[in-house]
Amino acid sequence: MKTKLTGILGIAVAASIMVSDVNAKNIKVQASSKSGDWAHLFMTENYAPRLKAMTGGALSITVLPTKAVVPHRETIDAVANGILDGDLNAISYFAGRDPAFAMIGDLIAGWDTPEQLQTYCMHGGGKEILQKMYDTLKVTSGKIHVIGCSPYSREALVSKNKITTVAGLKGVKIRSPEGLAAEVFRLVGASPSSIPFSEVYTSLEKGIVDAADASAYVNNNASGMHKIAKFPIYPGIHSMANLQFIMNKKLFNKLSKDNQVALETWYIAAYTEMRRAADIEDKELVAKHKAGGDITVVDWAQEERDKFRKISVGAWENYAKKSPLAREALNSQLAFMKKMGML
């Protein structure tokens, strides 16, 4: 009798495991980073495996590099239509859909630290504004769920020439995302062009651009940019790219409440740890490069940073006039900054 009961229990356990395996969901998302980048390796090697552990195998995630499935500006369409389960992409890539994406995606010279912007996104109304933007956009209305948004670094600016002032940007051919960032660079006399992150290195190498609004210092270094652009500006003067985590809404709604919460918790933990790790590695690399002598790390005087921010604030206001959502996105950020004593 005991042997028979043991056998029945064994079959039940095996069946339970089989059902669990069948119901296990692998979430396929496309990121804005390319394969081999520091940010992509951080997510694929360090944090992606943790989701499976957190959910007892019910959920896992595959973080694909940029353009692995669709071009970088088409990920939201792919998520809405179920071609991708989600994305971890730069919000500013979608500025062509509505100027509000540029306003939330990168408020140029607006935030001092990644922690400030992450707090705004997750607790100050940022992800709610982003959700409203997707609900308003015809092609994604009712099809996308926003899990969150966060930067992981205040970006450095890579340059082949030494630029120490606002005036020094005049005439510089610079890679920049379309939208607000490009508008600010135009106002200071630079010539911005929109180039995918995956093509920045070759564009610098071939002289298509002289400088680039690219990524964190550590990510730029991992991409080899400092081999040809030896005058990086750090700390950066401009960009703090805000990245989103969105999912196909039908798929998200099919997940259990526990797994939804686990996914949200995993995301916050991933980007909190990534911004801390990036900051540490940035500082270590900068110190190494300063000591080495081959790379000249440029740190702008506060007076020049203030000039650049003043120009940027004017660009915010001009850009906010482009759509009602852009105005709302700017007002939301300004209100949070005032609440936190930043303005």
End-to-end CA distance of the chain: 76
Beta bridge partners of 244: 149
Strand 243-248 to 86-88 pairing: antiparallel
pLDDT in tens, 23-59: 579 999 999 998 988 999 999 999 999 999 999 999 9
Phi, psi of 134 (to 5 degrees): -70, -35
pLDDT in tens, 268-282: 999 999 999 999 999
Does 320 score more than 70 pLDDT?
yes
Fold match between domain 25-154+241-280 and domain 157-237+293-321:
yes
pLDDT in tens, 135-164: 999 999 999 999 999 999 999 999 999 999
Beta carbons within 8 Å of 75's beta carbon, 6+ residues apart: 30, 84, 87, 89, 93
Averaged pLDDT, 178-187:
88
Does 179 score more than 90 pLDDT?
no
Does 178 score more than 90 pLDDT?
no
CB 162 within 8 A of CB 231: yes
Q: Indicate the CATH number of 25-154+241-280 among 3.40.50.11810, 3.50.50.60, 3.40.190.170, 3.40.30.10.
A: 3.40.190.170
- pLDDT at position 24 is 78
Averaged pLDDT, 178-189:
90
Does 316 score more than 50 pLDDT?
yes
pLDDT in tens, 202-242: 999 999 999 999 889 998 999 899 999 999 999 999 889 99
In this structure, what DSSP letter does residue 233 have? B
Domain boundaries, the chain: 25-154+241-280, 157-237+293-321
Averaged pLDDT, 326-342:
95
- pLDDT at position 23 is 58
CATH code of 157-237+293-321, in short, is 3.40.190.10
Does 20 score more than 80 pLDDT?
no
Residue 28, SS3 per DSSP: strand
Does 18 score more than 80 pLDDT?
no
The number of C-alpha atoms within 13 Å of 29 and in the hemisphere containing its C-beta is 29
Averaged pLDDT, 89-112:
93
3 — pLDDT class (breaks 50, 70, 90): very low
Does 319 score more than 80 pLDDT?
yes
Average pLDDT, the chain: 91
Sheet holding 59-64, edge to edge: 59-64, 25-31, 86-88, 243-248, 144-150
Q: Is the backbone peptide bond immediately before 235 cis, with ω within 30 degrees of 0?
A: yes
Strand 144-150 to 157-159 pairing: unpaired
Higher pLDDT, residue 18 or 87: 87
Rg of the chain's alpha carbons, rounded to an integer?
A: 22
H/E segment holding residue 248: strand 243-248
4 — pLDDT class (breaks 50, 70, 90): very low
Does 9 score more than 70 pLDDT?
no
